[in-house]
Amino acid sequence: METIGHWIGGQLSAQATRTQDVFNPATGQVAKQVAIAPRATVEEAIEVAQAAYPEWRNTPALKRARVMFRYKSLLEEHADRIIELIGAEHGKICHDAAGELQRGIENVEYACCAPELLKGEFSKNVGPNIDSWSEFQPLGVVAGITPFNFPAMVPLWMFPMAIVCGNTFVLKPSERDPSTALFLAELLKEAGLPDGVFNVVNGDKEAVDTLLESPTVKAVSFVGSTPIAEYIYSKASANGKRCQALGGAKNHAIVMPDADMDNVVSQLLGAAFGSSGERCMALSVAVAVGQEAGDALIEKMSAAMQPLKVGEHTDKDNDFGPVITKEHQQKVVGFIDSAEAQGATVVVDGRQPKVTGFEDGFFVGATLIDGVTKDMDSYQQEIFGPVLQVIRANTMDEAMQLINDHEYGNGTCIFTRDGEAARYFSDHIEVGMVGINVPLPVPVAYHSFGGWKRSLFGDLHAYGPDAVRFYTKRKTITQRWPSADLREGSHFSFPS
């Protein structure tokens, strides 16, 4: 059986004292094993990255950007291979994996702008014969810890910008679907990236803690669940590191009485069930304002869900695939059970889907639950599965209060034809990413991604302009060249 190793210093390494199974979630069978890096292997990757840093730091930004231009072309050239790796280990349907990769490539495109993004600022004659300028310098060795649900896109949020800013990088991808990260590393080498600038270590908490504790690692970027994000942020900060840790979500869509209900249903289908609901921007709660809107939503939504197909990743006719593990399948089903036990109504039940030929896969079908209340466990926690819950509200203010009271503040949207209502919503909702008739308001690559409240720990969002700030430190220089015949006395008042 194939064992997936690490990528250190530009070559594959299979050092491990432990391994972990990697499943094909559609079949439920072990497909590969992954080497779990001990502390010594992670430390080796950090040392290699540190050794590569001085030369890479001094490489002109234009030359660093040229590597990214070539890398973009290679990602597009090998898209089918990347899509296959995502599907085989994550279960994501091929068309969905293609969309994930495309959004990742857009971040590489933005990174190609490094010469412009790193120019800094200059002011002449801020005082007599005094010039001042600022520049953005790299941090050194930085690290990324990424989740299973986007094995290509989320790493591509991080390392392209970090690298073009002059840093070297250690990536710790999810051990549940590790092959994509290694292939991304191979393509970087082919694009001309010097050995040691980008490294990949597969591992678990021991690998994570090694990165968080190492004095050589200057910054850590993380995407995952809120409990782990809080741990990462606290430990990284305690060790003097810059940190951005993106956590969980409970994304609501307010459905106003004037909304085009057919359009709402069409949009919610993909937003709630795409990627099997395993994305932090999935719309998992619809808040219907008014009894009539709620009844219409349930009626139309339940009918529209009937043709949805759950299945294996290579069949493009499938709408979404399995969840990542057997344990996660049981967790999602457990939330459906608990909602029903606490008084909600399961209108469309996906707890026992029939997937011919893949009976042992980790599948959960599209599920619609009505009559949910804010005190239910399934509402308070992130389900991370293909489950849409419907809550009824009497007014828009009541619906907004529900969202503002929730501990998460990642994404939200409103469906309405009323521009005044939409503007009021966007101004007063306490959420980081807002959609107006857009159910998945994920920012494009030249903006930045991040939520509020317990969906993000740290001051800077992911990718876009914030990424430049996160992966660099500003230095301001003030310079004076006085005339040769000028002699001045001392000044003791501020400023001198």
Catalytic residue IDs: 280
Would you state the structure tokens that stand for residue 12, as one six-digit string?
A: 């594959």
Q: How far apart are CA 174 and CA 146, in angstroms?
A: 6
3-state secondary structure the chain: CCEECEEECCEEECCCCEEEEEEECCCCEEEEEEEECCHHHHHHHHHHHHHHHHHHHCCCHHHHHHHHHHHHHHHHHCHHHHHHHHHHHHCCCHHHHHHHHHHHHHHHHHHCCHHHHCCCEEEEEEECCEEEEEEEEECCEEEEECCCCCCCHHHHHHHHHHHHCCCEEEEECCCCCCHHHHHHHHHHHHCCCCCCCEEECCCCHHHHHHHHHCCCEEEEEEECCHHHHHHHHHHHHHCCCEEEEECCCCEEEEECCCCCHHHHHHHHHHHHHHHHHCCCCCEEEEEEECHHHHHHHHHHHHHHHCCCCECCCCCCCCCECCCCCHHHHHHHHHHHHHHHHCCCEEEECCCCCCCCCCCCCCCCCCEEEECCCCCCHHHHCCCCCCEEEEEEECCHHHHHHHHHHCCEECEEEEECCCHHHHHHHHHHCCCCEEEECCCCCCCCCCCCECCEECCEECCCCECHHHHHHHCEEEEEEEEECCCCCCCCCCCCCCCC
Rounded to 5°, angle at Cα 153 from 149 and 157 = 120
* Bridge partner list, 140: none
Number of residues in the chain: 496
| Ramachandran assignment for 201, one of left (phi > 0), alpha (psi -120 to 50 degrees), beta (any other) | beta
Instruction: Please compute Rg for the chain using Cα positions.
Output: 25
